[in-house]
Amino acid sequence: MQSHQDKQTITRRTVLLSVGGVGVFGALASRLYYLQVIKAEDYTTLSENNRFNYNILIPDRGRILDRNGTPLALNKQDYQLVLIPEQVENVDETLDKVSDIIPLTPKVRSRILGDIKNHAKFVPILVEDHLKWPQFAALNMRTPELPGVVPEVAQGRSYPHDGLFSHVIGYVGSAGPEDVEKDNDPLLRQPTFRMGRTGVEAAVDKQLRGKSGKLKVEVNAVGRIVREWPEKDTQAVPGQDVWLTLDAELQKYAAELFEEDSGGVAVIDVMTGELRTLLSMPTFDNNMFVSGLTQADMKRLNSDEKRPQFNKVIGGGYPPASTFKMTVMLAALEQNIINPSERIICTGKMRVGNRTFHCWKRHGHGPVNFQQSLQYSCDVYFYELAQRINIDIIAETAKRLGLGQSYPLGITGQTKGIIPTEAWKQKRLGQGWRMGDSLNAFIGQGFVLTTPLQLAVMASRIANGIQAVVPRLIIGDNTTDFEPLDFLPEHIAAIQAAMRSVCEEPGGTAYRPGAMGVPGVEMAGKTGTGQVRGISASERAAGVLKNKELPWKLRDHSIFVGYAPFDRPRFAVGTIVEHGGSGSKRAAHITRSLLKRALERDGLTAPNMDDDTL
């Protein structure tokens, strides 16, 4: 019934469509070729990425030990709660449920949400650590209804000794974005990882940290682990222990001696430079910083006028006061501008230009020779020297004794203090040096600022006499090949003798015979009383106020440097007690006691026992 032409139309158009169909097949086939041949490698990689996750294993952090192996920082089991975002359906809802058991502050919540945003979905995010056992147990009970929330027993950093070592050890904390930028260690991207933030923890972080391990796991589309590949795993390498030169017992004793006072003390081995004690008082509990400080803690720390967080022993600049006098005396001997037997008359004051400078002893010491100037700590003697030597020479000598510089301790927070020169004053204040400046500087007042550690180093260099001792804190850190000190032995001997007379001869400002408790063991030292206020002429006329009559903040700093035994020095100490009054009292007592205890702990008692102990 159909026309021939009609049939032809259908056939023609069928062919047309068929050709189109073949074209589509061709296009599809070439697309398949493109995907499976040309792009095959890319997609294979993507497919591998789909399959494998590397779960980073966090190594145990190395411990920090004192010289006897007493742990100062260690890892303790810590109950933590972590959250794996990809397994959590509704983060807010889950956190709400978690807050029923452990209260989460808004700050913590926003921290958690931030962490979730900044990490891949399979990375566990720390919700809270340092959980109490009942909380941890309760969370374990609830886990079935909280998918993706995992209570974990992890290793948390713990600092025993009640904060005695806080300033030295520092603390650990989570890595910030700037750390991640500088350091491509995958550990830093783990939210539960803690790195050293301050102190020794930060200084030798790499050594303590260890190396991360990798757990290769196959995951499916929703992130569930479907297979582990034990043969592809690399174990985490635990961090190395770090040994410090400190003696925990001695440090503890030093803190006891300080009682409630504020300040710093350093005990140093005069031969090796090893620090046996490096203490800043008062201390704070660095455990607080590991889990994150609360606002209340922060406020308490910051409002304390004794500034617990401030590492005074290496970072506090104080006028060294009369402990600076050895420097001046050494310079005077080297410059040959004083004869040790020459006597200078002290009348209690000296007039220079239109100003009157006073000796601490109101009515003067009378005639005073070189050794006596130190024994009695006569200020006028040094006023006289100030007119004979240029301040720049004093500064140079001070530098040789270790003042005005920082040391390679590894930890941060050191200050160099100030050892003034003419150029320094010009640069700093835009003024020329005046004689009055010298007079103040020569008795360790005025512009001069030193730290307790610097004073200890100075004492150790005088005690050593040959080498420029450099303090060290971390065992294996530095060498004991010190630079030569380059003072003439007779000059050093004169200073040493003068320092001995301070402690061991009647009239010495710190005279207390038998202080070392063993016959024949003597100590040498020097007191310092650092003025923090100006004394007006009228007050001087009416009688200088006693420290007890002043508010704490205005009292003198009590300063002492010393070493023992006098004839074979082992340890040197630098002590500053903030607003502790006269150097002959608090600081001298602390120094004496520490030297005695340090010698006892070292097994060194009487000189005649030496042969036996060998």
The footprint of another protein (CB under 8 A) covers 1-3, 5-6, 9-11, 13-14, 17-18, 21-22, 24-25, 27-29, 31-33, 35-37, 39-40, 42-44, 46-47, 50-51, 218-222, 226
User: Would you say 11 or 143 has its CB closer to another protein?
Assistant: 11
User: Would you say 13 or 232 has its CB closer to another protein?
Assistant: 13
User: Would you say 116 or 236 has its CB closer to another protein?
Assistant: 116
Report the nearest approach of another protein to the CB of residue 79 (Å): 34
Which string of DSSP letters, residue by residue, matches 270-306? TTT-BEEEEEEES---THHHHS---HHHHHHHHH-TT
User: Would you say 107 or 227 has its CB closer to another protein?
Assistant: 227
Q: Which two tokens stand for residue 165?
A: 């070592």
Give the C-alpha separation, 85 to 119, whole Å: 9
DSSP classification of residue 100: T
Report the nearest approach of another protein to the CB of residue 472 (Å): 55
Is there a contact between 496 and 566 (Cβ–Cβ < 8 Å)? yes
Phi, psi of 342 (to 5 degrees): -60, 135
Is there a contact between 377 and 390 (Cβ–Cβ < 8 Å)? no
User: Would you say 48 or 490 has its CB closer to another protein?
Assistant: 48
Is there a contact between 264 and 312 (Cβ–Cβ < 8 Å)? yes
Report the nearest approach of another protein to the CB of residue 214 (Å): 20
Report the nearest approach of another protein to the CB of residue 41 (Å): 9
Give the C-alpha separation, 422 to 493, whole Å: 30
Residues in the chain: 614
User: Would you say 226 or 537 has its CB closer to another protein?
Assistant: 226
User: Would you say 50 or 68 has its CB closer to another protein?
Assistant: 50
User: Would you say 27 or 423 has its CB closer to another protein?
Assistant: 27
User: Would you say 6 or 539 has its CB closer to another protein?
Assistant: 6
Give the C-alpha separation, 262 to 308, whole Å: 8
Non-local (6+) Cβ contacts of 52 within 8 A are 216, 217, 218, 219
The CA-to-CA distance between both ends of the chain, in Å, stands at: 132
Report the nearest approach of another protein to the CB of residue 145 (Å): 25
Report the nearest approach of another protein to the CB of residue 7 (Å): 8
Among 385, 405, 402, which residue's Cα sits nearest to residue 331?
Answer: 385
Task: Indicate the helix (H) or strand (E) that contains 358.
Answer: strand 355-358
Give the C-alpha separation, 100 to 23, whole Å: 64
Report the nearest approach of another protein to the CB of residue 36 (Å): 4
Q: Which two tokens stand for residue 126?
A: 């720390």
User: Would you say 50 or 235 has its CB closer to another protein?
Assistant: 50
Among 334, 390, 388, 384, which residue's Cα sits nearest to residue 357?
Answer: 384
Q: Which two tokens stand for residue 524?
A: 């040498």
Give the C-alpha separation, 458 to 452, whole Å: 10
Report the nearest approach of another protein to the CB of residue 92 (Å): 19
Give the C-alpha separation, 491 to 286, whole Å: 45
Report the nearest approach of another protein to the CB of residue 224 (Å): 9
Give the C-alpha separation, 471 to 313, whole Å: 13
Report the nearest approach of another protein to the CB of residue 90 (Å): 16
